Amino acid sequence: MSDIKKVVLAYSGGLDTSVIVRWLQDNYQCEVVTFTADIGQGEEVEPARAKAEALGVREIYIDDLREEFVRDFVFPMFRANTIYEGEYLLGTSIARPLIAKRLIEIANETGADAISHGATGKGNDQVRFELGAYALKPGIKVIAPWREWDMTSRETLMAYCRERDIPVDFSTAKKKSPYSMDANLLHISYEGGILEDPWAEAEEDMWRWSVSPEAAPDTPTYIELEYRHGDIVALDGQAMTPATVLETLNKVGGANGIGRDDIVENRYVGMKSRGCYETPGGTIMLKAHRAIESLTLDREVAHLKDELMPRYANMIYNGYWWSPERRMLQAAIDNSQQVVNGKVRLKLYKGNVIVAGRQSADSLFDESIATFEEDAGAYNQKDAEGFIKLNALRMRIAANKGRSPL
């Protein structure tokens, strides 16, 4: 007899997690609590309630986490200009610590002994969910069915459903997209199918959030973003909540062919994985944030942020959002953002995000110094001679000792 009496399952209502509900009931003889998060995936989440009820679940949580997701996870990440391996905007990665947090909160509320998820043993999500869970509740038991059961394909899962009368629409399951997809307000990802061949070009009808750059409008779209302390607070002069900002940018970006990416990335577990991503709003946010920082941040602060960013990106990608080192870096990043205020004007055109202007009351740009015209003595050009000679001193000494670079 298992000592697990109650489990909180991250439940989508799909085939995999529906099988997991019954599998947990059969193999652990436990009560299952389901938790479905609405983080802007663009699909109805309420039907998960009926599916869970049909499986005998009595405690069902369906939570709208869209504002919390963008405010407390996406926005802090973008303050760091975070990008993994030069391309990936971490859309899946940044959603997992929020889901882990809510799983633990529900476990505490319901007195559950364990949590469970549908992530496979090959991927990153198992690490992200579980590192987060252990950081927030060290003694929690985690059940990862894909690491325990012997089912290896959709066919074996559907056979399990038939054997145990699990209510699944098999016609829908068979017609499912050939891709493994994950969506939230920041992005939608595609893996599997023909994408498992890195040489194969993604099919045009795969993309769901954006038109191709070739099909985008022939006239540019201009938008204006307003920043306060590194976060967008208004779009085209209209104040918006964080989730509304991202939702709106996704629409305008997708309509202009922005945000598609095709990546071969290095998973934390060791393998390389090819995936395609649509991140229209995030692509716009990254360009705009760097533009307002270019005006307001001290040079060395900006350069230090750029040096730290890959470390910060690795922490998020690998599941260390709740770690002390990520929180320490976040404190430094957030401190730098106190002066990141102002407006950025962008031109969106056929897949391109072009900075058309930026302004800030906290700007460090001094036209009287930077000008190529008469500066009225604001900058003494003769000062540059000593500056150059002092910086060349160590190289001059080395060259005099015969250490020529040629």
Residues taking part in catalysis: 16, 96, 125, 180
CA distance 239 to 242: 10
CB atoms within 10 A of CB 40: 23
Which segments of 7-95 does DSSP mark as H helices, in order? 15-28, 47-54, 66-69, 75-79
CA distance 232 to 241: 9
HSE, CB side, 13 Å, CA atoms: give it for residue 261: 23
Residue pair 89/286 in contact (Cβ under 8 Å)? The answer is: yes
Residue pair 160/150 in contact (Cβ under 8 Å)? The answer is: no
CA distance 39 to 36: 9
Sheet holding 221-228, edge to edge: 238-239, 231-235, 221-228, 342-349, 352-359
Q: Report residue 218: phi and psi, to 5°.
A: -85, -5
Comparing CA positions, the residue from 232, 253, 245, 249 lying closest to residue 343 is 232
Residue pair 335/304 in contact (Cβ under 8 Å)? The answer is: no
3-state secondary structure string across 296-316: HCCHHHHHHHHHHHHHHHHHH
User: In the 8-state DSSP scheme, what is residue 323?
Assistant: S
The count of residues in the chain is 406
Q: Return the percent helix, strand and coil in the chain, to nearest 5.
A: 45, 20, 35
Q: Report residue 89: phi and psi, to 5°.
A: -90, 15
Q: 235-260 burial by CB neighbour count: b if 16+ within 10 A, else e?
A: beeeebebbbbbbbbbebbbbbbbbb
Helical pair 299-317 and 324-336, crossing angle rounded to 10 deg: 150
